[in-house]
Structure 1
Amino acid sequence: MLRSPVVGPVLFSLFILAGFCTPALANTAVDTNSQTSSSTKSVATDRQLAAQRDLYRQSLKLIGNRDWQKLRRQRTQLVDYPLYPYLIYADLIADLRYARRHEVGNYLRRYQGSVKAQHLRARWLDYLARRAYWQTYTEYYDPKTASVSRRCNYYLAQYRLDNKPLAISEGLKLWSEGKSQPKACDKLFGLLIKYKHISESLAWQRFNAALINHNFQLARYLKRFLKSPEYLKRHQLYYDIDRNPRRLSQHKAFNSNSAEERKVLEHGLVHLARRDPNLSLKYWTRYQLSHEFNHRAQAKIVSAIIKGLYQKGHRTAADSYFTDHLSLLNQTLDGELTEWRIRQALAELDWPAASLWLARLPTASQQKTVWRYWKIRSMESNPATTLNPELNQLTRALARERDFYGFLASEKLDKSYSINHNPAIVDDQLLRSIANIPAIQRARELHHHGDSLDANREWAAASKSYQRQDWIAAAVLASQWQWHNKAIAAMGSAKYWDDVEIRFPLAYVQPINQAAKNAGIQNYLLFALARQESAFNATATSGAGAMGLIQVMPATAKSTARKHRLPYVSKKQLHKASVNLPIGSRYYSDLLQRFGNNRILATAAYNAGPTRVDQWLRKTNGKLPFDVWMTLIPFKETRSYVRNVMMYSAIYSRKLGMTPPMLQQHELDRLL
């Protein structure tokens, strides 16, 4: 066994680069994600690999220029390169026609299970469907990888090929989903409707599913399939419950105790609890006697009623009802509502109530660092427990954690933070095994060429069946390849948190140092932002549209660049560290200035927006200590985000040889 957070260059050349070849198209070996054939293994030198990479880059240009003849000649020199299948794929996709079906079949067999084989199958099936080659479609269809659109086309093919019973039964299953299905399903569904295969009961089933999914447009559409007065009456009643949950007063109308009816009642009672919790409680008292709600549904309804009562000012009643249902709520919701109640106590600085509800947390939740910290704070705030020896014991135990609250506990004891670095133990043979997986080889090369989308796909394909030690080995490899976001994620998948070198890399050192200097902020803070925002993935794009290392929104980039006269032309530039870091760091610096050089507030604003932080500050009106204010941030993501950035900044400062406190004195002292 080797303790090897870093793999040396000699080992690297011997086994990290080993086996970097894939079967030629003429080779009959199957290329899978989990094993390699001995005939494909070779030791590629650095020079050979560099030459192959250069030739592959040239081939990509030929693809861009659609110079297929030259590409076919040139790719013969890349038969042993991991990305050789990508060149074959590009050729096939550029000229996909029925006459090439045998080439397509050969590719699918020889690269079976690979990412590009799945892509080619999908493109080929779409081609066959557009041209109504239904028999061939059924021959190439794979149910394990088929999308909903291709499933619909498959059963349409079966219908056209006179296998109508199968097409109808499976088509009805697809139609009955409580959501709108892809446009590709329209032809199949049209046949089901035309020949009256959709029963009223099936339409009613789909209506209920759509209503529960809040798909009201689909729910309205489904009314056309309902003919009987009973169904039409219930359709209107159920539909009205969402808009006016007081219709729940019509108890006699809800008498079936069906799963669908219970879902509608649950939905209505939760909605009503937000508007009129007392009325919701009244109806719930009756419906829980007439209907058999499962524990999760009960917990959801009771939770909504408790929150409604509390927010309407009926706190004593809310707490009493909560206490009566504590076991159900803790077991079903994992203490989530109890945690909410603790935050309400903290908002009032009601330390006795905080202590009471902390003690009512499930045992597992009480071990979370956040609630261990608040137990300490509640004991500190109670004159009866400030001298209790347990207080010092709890603080010392918490200070041993590498955690935001652990670092705060260390400050209380005036001791150094517990970084707790413990390098992962990695076995040579396992490293070689992971490095020789063809999909991992392809992933590494795609990452090298900047194709992050396909690199991520290959990595995911390779790691489907990883065990814990496999993930750790993969993390070591990714770290060696400077693929930091994958190394960090792999350690997370392994739940191995103590290899601080891999989990907190010093990446993009020069551009981060320069951007921090120009923006007038600490470099370790910028490292922390990059670690939290993208895990050092320069090509990251969030669902909201934020881009790059420190996730800058294009609109923010445009206004910040204009304000500070920074070069910026288009949002694509935000994937470049040389553009992203200067703009993002200046924006963060602006937030610091706006919020009185308070990094807690600036960091919250960087995540949730400065307008929201202004709103939260107006609500608390300068009455709360920093830690209470952080705990009361309405968004769970932002609460975690601020804690992480502050903790990460402390870790990075120490990696850079500095020992500033995680929070400055003015940040600790200011009431928010």
Structure 2
Amino acid sequence: MRKPKINKCLYSLFIIGMAMLAPAILAAKPNANELVLVAAPVTKDPSMASIVPFTLTERELQQRELFAEFVELIETQRGLDAEDMVQKLAALDGYPLRSYAEKYWLLLSLSVESEAQMEAFLAANDNSPVARNVRKRWLQLLQDENQDELYVEYYQPQLSAELDCHYLQLTYNEEQELREFDQLVAPLWLVEYSQPKACDPIFKRWKASGLQTSDRVLARFKLASRAGNLRLAQFLGRSIAPEQKYLQSLWRDARRRPLRLTAANKFPGKYVAEEAEVFTYAMNRLAWSEPHRVISALDNTADRLSLSDDQLNKIVQTVALSLAVDQHPDAETWLQKAYQQQADPEILRWQVATAIRQQQWQQTIAMIAAAEPSHANDLSYQYWQGRSWQQLEAPEKAHDSFSIVAAQRHYYGFLASAQIQQVPRLNHREPRIDSVLQQALIQDPAIRRAHELFVQQRFAEARREWRFALREASDDVRMQAALLAHDWQWYDQAIALFTQLGYFDDVLRRFPIASNTAIQPLAQEYQIDPAWAFAITRRESSFMSDAVSGVGARGLMQVMPATARFIQQQPVRYSTLLEPQANVALGIQYLRYLMEKVDDNTLLATASYNAGWRRVLEWLPEQEAVDADIWIESIPYRETRNYVKAVLAYKYIYQLQLGQQSDLFEQLQIMQLQPRTTLATEAQ
């Protein structure tokens, strides 16, 4: 199976008056390998409740409504009366978001004549998140209006590459030391993507100064080629030194037609190190579709290219993984070869997965015993040792292995507990409330702004203020901030902080029953287990309603626009996908659709939500049924494999949280997945 491509998102300017969406899902989404889970429901200790975060006066409540009205006017109306708007601004004096209201009004009427207001605004709000976008828009205007002196006066670095380049152009001095000039320009030029046209003049001067060397051109050409930016690579190719031109063709083939580079005569041996690099890149790409062609190329070409040990090991590893994913008979040999060359944990994981898939239980035990201790101590291998002893009819040894794993808060702990019919340990532990630290937090102006922006559903701006407030905070302070965020029902930021702090014991706050998502009634309507819907949502977005992924999935359940269109049988506006109830309704309807495609098998439907149901059916066994835990361990995509493990564990936790009697892992241990032919026929 092949690695999915990751699309790059172009940096875009914010639009006046619209909620500014930040695809910062990774900040709130748990790490892909995070499976450290609590295995029991508990009742929240009333003595552990956070202090009341904010008590607003009647005037402050009125100001909250006035702010919302003010913003709505700016976003929806034309020809606003300036005097009236200034009066409305004055009515917001003392309100935490007064500066944001001023920002929106200032940007709406921005002109060079606004300098006095701009100077006052930036002076009052400098170094705070609200000022960054304003300064950026102001500099863009000054650039367009050729206000060079003002531009230099107001410039700050790293607002955008375009603004940085324009500043360098304005301040360039012929007598400037080349070393200093190079330090400023080289990082802007040596990137894998095209920079704005505003950078062209300064790049030309940099090149004229002799700083755009052939080696640098080749380095950027390789960056662009690896990123698939072939248009930029082609442009850069014009500047490659004549004697290196053939490398341009090699990199183009490596990206588009790597099979061509299996021929030894493609490499003349002029620049051996460069040829070895492009060959390694090409073979690692080709190995996922034509592993045996790569094996032949290694035999015919590797010695001639003088591959380094690291390059050779990388190719061997990729070949081994490709064969293992495809369940090829040669996989075992190549996995062993790869692990002997370099003890890589992913290779060991596939060695074990291949052995258990072939029911080589004695070999599984021996393989884990011979592995590097730092690898073999992983909970997954302790679980598979137990399963191996179980299959070898050594129940005492199996029980000993399972008991060790069952004591842990983990997916494998849940599996092991089911194997020995043991209730998972109750390890829920709430952090202590520190009222002094919490009181200090809620008095912080940035925290107050973050809270009000959250209440106003301006989530991207709220997150910027939140992170700004906590940028230098101690772990103790961040823990109290996590508790406050949870009490505000700002679940994604609470979960993010718990994850960053490595605090996994608070099951109630890490796996909240988010009543503001309408998951339970919608799940009931579409006959979906609400615990499963909660688990999917928790894994997809950590309840960040405005989450946008790099590939365009949106909202709480990360629904793709194409999926929404398919479910609704008509186009769905992107903004609709960010509405919590609409997003959850679409996500749950899609879960129902997937269940119908996979014969109501929640395990397969979970994998399908991540990888697509047709691909999941291809992963089913061809002839004989396979145990569910073995099938999960053999899922070809690492992302989907970790996703399924996490969602199953999350679902178990949510079942307990919702008061359900759960036998999820007991059922999983006896489940067998049937050959693909039967299910594939039913899914048509």
TM-score normalised to the size of structure 1? 0.83
**Is 1:357 the counterpart of 2:356 in the alignment?**
no
Structural RMSD (CA): 3.3
Deviation string, structure 1 residues 555-603 (Cα, Å, up to 9, x no partner): 433443469xxxx964533333433333332332232233222110111
**Is 1:656 the counterpart of 2:667 in the alignment?**
no
- CA spacing shift, 1:576–1:272, aligned 2, 3 Å: closer
Kindly indicate whether structure 1 or structure 2 has the higher relative contact order, using CA contacts under 8 Å at least 6 residues apart.
2
Return the letter of the residue paired with 1:344: T
1:438 to 437, 445, 456: 445
Q: Percent identity?
A: 28
Q: Give the equivalent residue in structure 2 for 1:623.
A: 625
The DSSP-based 3-state class of the residue aligned with 2:619 is helix
- CA spacing shift, 1:215–1:253, aligned 2, 3 Å: farther
Distance 1:261 1:471 in 2: 50
Return the letter of the residue paired with 2:100: Y
- CA spacing shift, 1:292–1:466, aligned 2, 3 Å: farther
1:122 to 115, 136, 141: 136
Q: Give the equivalent residue in structure 2 for 1:154.
A: 167
**Is 1:132 the counterpart of 2:146 in the alignment?**
yes
Q: Give the equivalent residue in structure 1 for 2:36.
A: none
The DSSP-based 3-state class of the residue aligned with 1:59 is helix
The DSSP-based 3-state class of the residue aligned with 1:253 is coil
Q: Give the equivalent residue in structure 2 for 1:245.
A: 261
Distance 2:419 2:211 in 1: 71
Q: Give the equivalent residue in structure 2 for 1:62.
A: 73
Instruction: Give the total of aligned pairs.
Output: 619
Distance 1:240 1:580 in 2: 42
Distance 2:284 2:142 in 1: 48
Q: Which moved more, 1:162-171 or 1:73-82?
A: 162-171
**Is 1:549 the counterpart of 2:556 in the alignment?**
yes
Deviation string, structure 1 residues 453-495 (Cα, Å, up to 9, x no partner): 2112222222323333232111100011111111111111111
**1:638 deviation in Å?**
1.7
1:141 to 138, 150, 155: 155
Q: Give the equivalent residue in structure 1 for 2:602.
A: 599
- The 8 Å contact of residues 630 and 639 in structure 1, kept in 2 or not, is answered as yes
Return the letter of the residue paired with 2:499: G
- The 8 Å contact of residues 71 and 104 in structure 2, kept in 1 or not, is answered as no
Q: Give the equivalent residue in structure 2 for 1:380.
A: 390
1:25-36 equivalences in 2 (<5 Å): none
- The 8 Å contact of residues 335 and 350 in structure 2, kept in 1 or not, is answered as no
Q: Which moved more, 1:306-315 or 1:341-350?
A: 306-315
- The 8 Å contact of residues 469 and 494 in structure 1, kept in 2 or not, is answered as no
The DSSP-based 3-state class of the residue aligned with 1:425 is coil
**1:117 deviation in Å?**
1.1
**1:625 deviation in Å?**
0.7
Return the letter of the residue paired with 2:338: F
Q: Give the equivalent residue in structure 1 for 2:18.
A: none
Distance 1:580 1:266 in 2: 43
Return the letter of the residue paired with 1:589: R
1:229-268 equivalences in 2 (<5 Å): 230-237=243-250, 239-240=252-253, 243=257, 244-248=260-264, 253-254=269-270, 257=273, 260=274, 263-268=277-282
**Is 1:429 the counterpart of 2:436 in the alignment?**
yes
- The 8 Å contact of residues 647 and 662 in structure 1, kept in 2 or not, is answered as no
**Is 1:536 the counterpart of 2:549 in the alignment?**
no
- The 8 Å contact of residues 49 and 433 in structure 2, kept in 1 or not, is answered as no
- The 8 Å contact of residues 5 and 502 in structure 1, kept in 2 or not, is answered as no
Q: Give the equivalent residue in structure 2 for 1:614.
A: 617
**1:423 deviation in Å?**
0.3
Q: Which moved more, 1:583-592 or 1:598-607?
A: 583-592
Q: Which moved more, 1:85-94 or 1:276-285?
A: 276-285
| Runs of at least 5 residues in structure 2 that lack an aligned partner in the other structure | 1-43, 675-684
Distance 1:583 1:262 in 2: 49
Distance 2:212 2:124 in 1: 42
1:96 to 89, 110, 113: 110
Q: Give the equivalent residue in structure 1 for 2:672.
A: 670
| Runs of at least 5 residues in structure 1 that lack an aligned partner in the other structure | 18-43
Return the letter of the residue paired with 1:281: L
- The 8 Å contact of residues 68 and 91 in structure 1, kept in 2 or not, is answered as no
- The 8 Å contact of residues 626 and 667 in structure 1, kept in 2 or not, is answered as yes
Q: Give the equivalent residue in structure 2 for 1:53.
A: 64
- CA spacing shift, 1:45–1:570, aligned 2, 3 Å: closer
**Is 1:585 the counterpart of 2:588 in the alignment?**
yes
Q: Which moved more, 1:496-505 or 1:198-207?
A: 198-207
- The 8 Å contact of residues 533 and 551 in structure 1, kept in 2 or not, is answered as yes
Q: Give the equivalent residue in structure 2 for 1:321.
A: 337
**Is 1:72 the counterpart of 2:74 in the alignment?**
no
**Is 1:495 the counterpart of 2:502 in the alignment?**
yes
The DSSP-based 3-state class of the residue aligned with 1:329 is coil
- The 8 Å contact of residues 356 and 364 in structure 2, kept in 1 or not, is answered as yes
Q: Which moved more, 1:199-208 or 1:217-226?
A: 199-208
- The 8 Å contact of residues 178 and 209 in structure 1, kept in 2 or not, is answered as yes
Return the letter of the residue paired with 2:123: R
Q: Give the equivalent residue in structure 2 for 1:278.
A: 295
Q: Give the equivalent residue in structure 2 for 1:206.
A: 220
**1:240 deviation in Å?**
4.8
**1:421 deviation in Å?**
0.9
Return the letter of the residue paired with 2:296: L
- CA spacing shift, 1:124–1:275, aligned 2, 3 Å: farther
Q: Give the equivalent residue in structure 2 for 1:513.
A: 520
